[in-house]
Amino acid sequence: MAAPFRLVPIDASFGATVTGLSLRDLDAEGFRALYDAWLTYALLIFPGQHLDRAAQIAFARRFGPLEFDIAALSNVKSDGSLRREADNDDMMKILKGNMGWHADSTYMPVQAKGAVFTAEIVPRSGGETGFADMRAAWDALDPGQRQRIESLEARHSLHYSQSRIGHATARADGEYSGYGLHDGPVSRRPLKKIHPETGRPSLLIGRHAHDIPGMSRAESEAFLDGLVEFACQPPRVWHHHWQPGDALLWDNRCLLHRATPWDMTEPRVMWHSRIAGDPVSEAALAA
């Protein structure tokens, strides 16, 4: 049976634009077809949906329990004033940190399954969101690299990734919730990840990954940086140019993503709903 929407692949190894449906009014049959498309393409782009907060949360919940319902990623403060880049407060540090390639919640005991991300206010230029296909990256490795990576693990920490770019975060000034900046054991994850629903292998790397056991910190950083540089190249990357009302859905189990810079004297208001991972398939080796 044909899908009850139009699906056009983007110019990359993954991803598709979906039109001809309303995410608010998607029936059970349409959702099943959409879920199958999501597993195939990993990134689905829905132009002009203009979801309000309640509708975004309701749509995200159809994919499973949420790690958190909704959060603003924005340089606009709660009082409507613009956050000054020069102040470099905790939220600004997180916004800047998110400009490195990463997968969400790899630093948590359970990695996220995916996310729904929407645009309310966008700048005139810049502020794109990039995605990179770690399935295609795994496929592009030579056999020797795959064999080496099969046995490797890395630790994942938001403390590490923020401190590496000089953004040690205070956690207590009220500007950032401290999510992910917890104390306690650091999560450890294999560099090769098998998707629990499709069975496809992919690389699990990104800015939170560090300290591969058996390597010095310098060796580990050089190795992981090299993998990110190799993996995040065309045709395995796509940067979405936002319009107000756009909604994106991505599979966090096989894609990396990143924010890109914009003129922060212009407002940018985005809304993020994070879909919780399966505690069995997405659990860290040590947490």
235 prior amide bond cis, ω within 30: yes
For residue 60, give its domain range: 6-275
Instruction: Identify whether 287 is part of a domain.
Output: no
pLDDT value at residue 88: 85
* First-last CA distance in the chain: 44
Measured between alpha carbons, how far is 121 from 1 in angstroms, rounded to an integer? 37
Which of 278, 115, 129 minimizes the C-alpha distance to 193? 278
Instruction: Identify whether 26 is part of a domain.
Output: yes
The domain tally of the chain equals 1
Look at the pTM and tell me if it is higher than 0.75: yes
| Helix (H/G/I), strand (E/B), else coil: 129 | strand
pLDDT value at residue 286: 60
Backbone angles phi, psi at 251, to 5 degrees: -95, 105
**DSSP label of 17:** E
Instruction: Identify whether 282 is part of a domain.
Output: no
Instruction: Identify whether 187 is part of a domain.
Output: yes
Residue type, 262: W
- Kindly report the CATH number assigned to the domain that includes residue 101: 3.60.130.10
Residues of the chain with pLDDT below 70 are 1-2, 169-179, 182, 286-287
pLDDT value at residue 174: 47
Instruction: Identify whether 280 is part of a domain.
Output: no
| Helix (H/G/I), strand (E/B), else coil: 253 | coil
